[in-house]
Amino acid sequence: VSRSALILAGGSGTRFWPASRRLRPKQLLPLADGRSLLARCVERLAPLVPIEQVWISTTAELAGAIAAELPGIDRGRILAEPTGRNTAPAIGWAVGEMPQAARAGAIAVLPSDHRIGDEPAFRATLERALVAAEAGHVVTLGVSPRWAETGFGYLELGSPVAGFEGLRRVAEFREKPDLETAQRFVASGQHVWNAGMFIFRGETLLERISEVAPELASGLAAIRAAPARATDLYPKLPSVSIDTAVMERIELAALPLDCGWDDLGSWQALYELLAGDADENRTLGEAVAVDASSNLLFADQGTIAALGVENLVVVRTGDAVLVMPRARAQEVRRIVERLRDAGRDDLL
């Protein structure tokens, strides 16, 4: 039986502006030891899922850039949504587009914009998830929390699933908690971060969609029946997440995942990952620091020179330079909003 992966690479975002742009979102940035997160996401699946069994879900806008980043993947396996919708239509449609042989086997649906430090550990857990999926379970990999993060959703673990070591039923989806709740979750040992990784037989997922999301199922069926009309029909699919539309409504199982997972949510998160020089400046690209310490210096071309500054993020990519304190890395969207308001789409 084949094992496949469906990599979700349609995302966009502004947290890594100005490195991330509309046509070069985070998953295409070289944030994984010089490789893009997307390329690394595909590469780390081997040998568990060979590249010939990898499909990519993305948007029409990004398809060209993704194809260029992944020369080993036939263009036919890069599935571009007619228009960008939410994850439920994207995954449902893409699974339907995959060949029957792939749909009949287990499919690992994986986001492409995360970093994983311990890849053998990741593959070992994924292997167990694939085995459970092949037995008919819909499985999620839930990241064992390393701190009381309030920016993620959590999954509350329930009773063990017999026959699969470590596999637990998901008792409840918990939205982003406040700090106190997050601390309680972490202390309990019964909660994991929802990292959006799902493993199932394709046919199983399509059945579940039919059962719990009939509007989505019929919309997807209409597109399959008239693929020439996909451009008209796709935008009419309900824009809901796979969590809300499907996963929260079915019997879902979880495997805790302990593999140095990092969602790289900001420039500050990147700073924390990189190794520093003697003054704790951490650099991607070329930089010179004099009497400067604890800065993140990121240049996709040219050189950054920092003198006498501390705890800054300095990014130069393409036609934009960003300077801000590391502690305010979450606020980069304010710059993006300002540029959008000013009609400067050329910088976004």
Smallest distance, Å, CB 314 to its own copies?
5
Considering the rule CB under 8 A, would residue 343 count as an interface residue with its own copies?
no
Smallest distance, Å, CB 26 to its own copies?
18
Please report where in the chains the tokens 């935008």 appear, as a residue.
235
Say how far apart CA 141 and CA 290 lie, in whole Å: 44
> Is the CB of residue 131 less than 8 Å from the CB of residue 255?
no
Smallest distance, Å, CB 313 to its own copies?
9
Please report where in the chains the tokens 């993020």 appear, as a residue.
313
Taking CB under 8 A as the binding criterion, the range among 60-68, 120-128, 226-234, 287-295 that sits at the site for its own copies is 287-295
Q: Which is nearer to its own copies, 144 or 293 (CB)?
A: 293
**Amino acid making up residue 200:** F
> Is the CB of residue 72 less than 8 Å from the CB of residue 43?
no
| Residue 1 burial (C-beta neighbours within 10 Å; 0-12, 13-18, 19+) | exposed
Considering the rule CB under 8 A, would residue 309 count as an interface residue with its own copies?
yes
Considering the rule CB under 8 A, would residue 284 count as an interface residue with its own copies?
no
Considering the rule CB under 8 A, would residue 304 count as an interface residue with its own copies?
yes
Q: Quickly list DSSP for 138-163.
A: EEEEEEPPSS--SSS-EEEEEEEPTT
Buried b / exposed e along 204-237 (16+ C-beta atoms within 10 A): bbbbbbeeebeebbebbebbeeeeeebeebbeeb
Considering the rule CB under 8 A, would residue 269 count as an interface residue with its own copies?
no
The residue within the footprint of its own copies, chosen from 176, 214, 344, 345 (CB under 8 A), is: 344
Say how far apart CA 268 and CA 286 lie, in whole Å: 19
Angle (CA) 97 71 45, round 5°: 70
Considering the rule CB under 8 A, would residue 299 count as an interface residue with its own copies?
yes
The residue within the footprint of its own copies, chosen from 18, 84, 92, 265 (CB under 8 A), is: 18
Smallest distance, Å, CB 11 to its own copies?
22
Q: Which is nearer to its own copies, 100 or 301 (CB)?
A: 301
Q: How many CB atoms lie within 10 A of CB 63?
A: 18
- Provide long-range contacts, Cβ within 8 A and 24+ apart, for 60-68: 61/22, 61/23, 62/9, 62/10, 62/23, 62/25, 65/23, 65/24, 65/28, 66/9, 66/28, 66/38
Considering the rule CB under 8 A, would residue 345 count as an interface residue with its own copies?
no
The residue within the footprint of its own copies, chosen from 320, 340, 343, 345 (CB under 8 A), is: 320
Q: Which is nearer to its own copies, 57 or 281 (CB)?
A: 281
The residue within the footprint of its own copies, chosen from 203, 324, 340, 348 (CB under 8 A), is: 324
Smallest distance, Å, CB 13 to its own copies?
16
Considering the rule CB under 8 A, would residue 318 count as an interface residue with its own copies?
yes
Q: Collapsing DSSP states into helix, strand and coil, what is residue 106? A: strand
Considering the rule CB under 8 A, would residue 312 count as an interface residue with its own copies?
yes
Of the candidates 100, 95, 58, 53, the one whose C-alpha atom is nearest the C-alpha of residue 72 is 53
* Phi and psi angles of residue 270, each rounded to the nearest 5 degrees, phi first: -65, -45
Taking CB under 8 A as the binding criterion, the range among 27-35, 45-53, 169-177, 334-342 that sits at the site for its own copies is 334-342
Considering the rule CB under 8 A, would residue 32 count as an interface residue with its own copies?
no
Taking CB under 8 A as the binding criterion, the range among 144-152, 174-182, 204-212, 284-292 that sits at the site for its own copies is 284-292
**Residue ranges binding its own copies (CB under 8 A):** 18, 288, 290-291, 299, 301-309, 312, 314, 316, 318-325, 328, 331-332, 334-335, 338-339, 342, 344, 347
